Amino acid sequence: MENLKLMPDTVLKPSFDRDKIKTSILHIGVSNFHRSHQAYYSHELIEKFNELNYGICGVDLLDSDRKIYNILKDQDGLYTLYIKEPNGAHRAKIIGSVVEYFFGPENPLAVIERMASPDIEIISLTIAEDGYHLNEITGVFDINHPAVSEEIKNPFNPKTVFGYLTQAFKLRKLRNLPGCTILSCDNIKSNGDTMKHSLLEYVSKTAPDLLDWISENTTFPNTMVDRITTITDFDDVEELKQNFQIEDQWPVVCEPFADWVIEDKFLFKKPNWEKVGVQFTRDIEPYEKMKLRLLNAGHTILGILGTLHGYKTVHEAAIDEDFIIFLKSFMNEEVQPTLNESNATHVKNYKKLLVARFQNPHINDRLSRICQENSAKIPLFILPTINDQLQKDKNIKRAAFIIAAWCKYNDGVNDFNVSYNITDSISGTLIRNATLSHQNPIKFLEIKSVFGDLSSHKIFTDSYEASLSLLRKHDVKTCIKEMNANLINS
């Protein structure tokens, strides 16, 4: 804290006394996104309204998180949020809302004890899709997952969030303490409901006598979270040193835009986050659907198309006029009809702002990151649009082209014959079926864990096969131009 006084006035520093902050939120998964989003909102509430009851206890549960744990412990939980405006007017803000930090692999019992503390009223999560241990085909909690099986044998040395929560809730029940709100902040559909169903399934197999207590003493609000946050690289660290005299071992880089919508069903009094821009709602679905099908789908589309064309960043792909014409027409003609009509004005404004966000030249968001685990993203971000459109006999030509482009993407070579890595938990299946699609295009659609029964929809497969045939003969840029011209003139 003493070092903050030495920083120049251009750095936005906490004005509050961190020693007076009460920790009532425990957050699992202190990722870059958490630090740019939930921790940022709590910081703003403390900074602007002196609400000192909502400090954060950060918790990491994975061995791979040891580096960030060591760095933040060394920095007393403080870090720099490096906000990059499109016009180059960047801001550096020191975030001070993370006031405690625990590392599960180092001391799991200490983490369980802190989770069980009556001071903790909210346990929030950013554990990514794989942290929920969902079955690839059914989408429900996989009780036979190796990490789950291991900790069932050794419950006091848990490996998953479910193991930790179960042990913490056992202590709360034993001590006649109240429960808490479980707040998922991950990019998965109905994230609160998914967390609830997964936890109850886990508990039903491992501690069934706890089920009634959890049902009566916890809530699981669904949320929609939104802020483009990139992987921190060495250049960002050096820029902060040169331009702001900040020596931060792991700053967070993000765009200026941020959004957070939360279903209003907290167990206790909720933080007054609405004072700093958070929206509480009774119905999260319209916001969730809009964000997943526009922003997340848009990122995925630019990732696939841009990689095939040899681009490296979202910005490069987003300033390509042909790609943006295609993306806008996909959003307008195929996504928009699947969204809530009563939200039309909000959707229109969101779409307009979205392209500008993608085009921010200072957000060095790499397409290699965007394309990681596409087999989990496409069923969530793009297939729901396809299924809704098919049910209404509406246009799916652009979506079919996107799936065909993803098939070609899994060849692993761009249009300039430069190879790239395919990072996906089922990469072997994707590569194999993409190879088979050279002889039989439908083979790629027969990956049931990704596409379900999509290969049986002739309207879709006809468009998909036509697109894949085009992509096998020409580079993606030529195909996009032809696609744009044909659809505009049709």
Q: Output the pLDDT for position 1.
A: 55
Q: Output the pLDDT for position 486.
A: 81
Q: Output the pLDDT for position 151.
A: 87
**Measured between alpha carbons, how far is 115 from 391 in angstroms, rounded to an integer?**
45
pLDDT along the chain (490 residues), means of 10: 73 94 97 98 98 97 95 96 94 97 96 97 94 81 87 87 97 97 94 95 94 97 96 93 94 97 95 97 93 96 98 97 97 93 81 94 94 94 97 95 98 98 96 98 96 96 97 97 80
Q: Output the pLDDT for position 489.
A: 61
- Find the DSSP H helices in 245-291: 285-290
**Measured between alpha carbons, how far is 169 from 162 in angstroms, rounded to an integer?**
10
Q: What are phi and psi of 225, to 5 degrees?
A: -120, 145
Residues 6+ apart with CB under 8 A from 135: 141, 142
Question: Taking the mean position of all CA atoms in its chain, how far away is CA 106?
Answer: 26
Residue with tokens 């297939």: 383
Q: Output the pLDDT for position 152.
A: 85
**Measured between alpha carbons, how far is 173 from 54 in angstroms, rounded to an integer?**
24
CA distances from 139 to 192, 239, 414 (A): 15, 42, 32
349 in Cβ contact with 290 (< 8 Å): no
Q: Output the pLDDT for position 345.
A: 82
**Measured between alpha carbons, how far is 142 from 135 in angstroms, rounded to an integer?**
5
Q: Angle at the Cα of 11 (from 6 to 16), degrees rounded to 5? A: 80
Buried b (16+ CB within 10 A) or exposed e, 369-390: ebbbebbbbbbbbbbbbbbbbe
